[in-house]
């Protein structure tokens, strides 16, 4: 007899996709178990919305909603329907066997009839040694302005934000509340951000743009004192004195723990072979949210795919799940 803890459904993640999947699965009496994660320097339970002050584009909140409050409400709704939650990571999976096998960060061995992967994506860093050192030591480098920007260290300072998308504009606007000046450093001469976010940033007198520039080094011992820049057009090098650096250059999907057990796209996002479906390359394993969405990356679309994944998993189980697979195998062999 197996000593592994057996579950009908395990959901990995704790963002909009995971909690929406949990709500649907719990209401369908699938008794979901959610592994919400332990958290790290750039990722905490609740996902990227935990780093967002005001969410203005999620339906149902005409005045906007605080990202932390929003995720707390998502979780509360899932728990209301008896969703169980474990604050651990899933660190290893084996999807070549039935039931599906998983191991948690604290060594718990599990097996499940079906799994929904909704692990989201993690903030991307420039990759400079001093950047990483100062980020780890709390020396004024961060990938989350909302998390760290209100700290006394950054007040009345000149701070830099690296990036050209919506996240960078949101970070710049947020930091303008505290900093003396915010310098947005972007490698091109135009932004990728949505028009409304560009307009907001450009209308703020405390925000200026350093176009066609990349950061080549971060200066400072215990705390950041400045940046070394290179012009992407002329190659000219320059220095910028800053008291803080916020990196907002995109995200990497949290899929490494899968160990190749599920087919991924070349960029690391989970592949879903059939359009508008959440089924992965492994029968009984479904994907939702930013771990599989490399195009939209919105809270509302993440929640939508969470709903889809739960419904897909429910239907897969209702149609026999593993038994259906075994039946297909027998039929194929007899032919």
Spatial separation of the C-alpha atoms in residues 172 and 167, rounded to whole Å = 9
Is residue 12 within 8 Å of 118, Cβ to Cβ?
Answer: yes
Distances (CA, A) of 56 to 196, 202, 300: 12, 19, 11
Among the listed residues 211, 148, 209, the one whose alpha carbon sits nearest the alpha carbon of residue 178: 148
Residues near 180 by beta carbon (within 8 Å), at least 6 away in sequence: 156, 157, 158, 206
Q: Which of 82, 89, 113, 147 is catalytic?
A: 147
Annotation marks residue 147 as catalytic: yes
Q: Which of 89, 113, 144, 312 is catalytic?
A: 144
Q: Is 179 helix (H, G, I), strand (E, B) or coil?
A: coil
Spatial separation of the C-alpha atoms in residues 163 and 182, rounded to whole Å = 13
Annotation marks residue 144 as catalytic: yes
Spatial separation of the C-alpha atoms in residues 289 and 141, rounded to whole Å = 28
Is residue 37 within 8 Å of 88, Cβ to Cβ?
Answer: yes
Spatial separation of the C-alpha atoms in residues 57 and 59, rounded to whole Å = 6
- Which tokens hold the place of 238? 């320059």
Q: Which of 89, 113, 148, 312 is catalytic?
A: 148
Residues near 202 by beta carbon (within 8 Å), at least 6 away in sequence: 209
Longest pairwise C-alpha distance within the chain: 76
Annotation marks residue 307 as catalytic: no
Enzyme catalytic residues: 144, 147-148
């Amino acid at each position: 007899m197996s000593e592994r803890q057996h579950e009908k459904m395990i959901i990995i993640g704790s963002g909009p996709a995971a909690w929406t999947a949990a709500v649907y699965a719990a209401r369908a009496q699938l008794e979901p178990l959610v592994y919400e994660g332990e958290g790290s320097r750039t990722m905490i339970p609740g996902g990227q919305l935990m780093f967002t002050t005001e969410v203005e584009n999620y339906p149902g909140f005409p005045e906007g909603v605080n990202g932390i409050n929003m995720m707390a409400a998502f979780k509360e709704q899932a728990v209301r329907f008896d969703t169980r939650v474990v604050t651990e990571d899933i660190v290893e999976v084996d999807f070549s066997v039935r039931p599906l096998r998983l191991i948690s960060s604290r060594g718990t061995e599990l097996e499940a009839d079906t799994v929904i992967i909704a692990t989201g994506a993690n903030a991307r860093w420039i990759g400079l040694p001093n950047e990483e050192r100062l980020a780890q030591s709390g020396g004024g480098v961060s990938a989350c302005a909302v998390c760290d920007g209100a700290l006394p260290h950054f007040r009345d300072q000149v701070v830099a934000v690296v990036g050209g998308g919506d996240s960078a504009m949101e970070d710049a606007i947020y930091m303008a509340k505290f900093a003396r000046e915010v310098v947005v450093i972007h490698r091109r001469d135009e932004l990728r951000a949505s028009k409304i976010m560009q307009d907001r940033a450009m209308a703020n007198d405390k925000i200026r743009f350093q176009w066609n520039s990349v950061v080549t080094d971060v200066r400072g011992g215990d705390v950041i004192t400045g940046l070394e820049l290179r012009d992407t057009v002329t190659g000219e090098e320059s220095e910028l004195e800053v008291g803080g650096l916020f990196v907002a250059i995109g995200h990497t999907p949290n899929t490494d723990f899968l160990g190749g057990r599920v087919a991924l796209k070349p960029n690391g996002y989970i592949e879903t072979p059939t359009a508008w479906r959440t089924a992965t390359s492994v029968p009984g394993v479904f994907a939702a949210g930013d771990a599989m969405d490399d195009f939209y990356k919105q809270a509302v679309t993440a929640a939508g795919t969470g709903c889809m994944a739960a419904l897909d998993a429910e239907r897969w189980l209702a149609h026999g799940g593993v038994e259906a697979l075994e039946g297909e195998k027998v039929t194929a062999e007899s032919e």
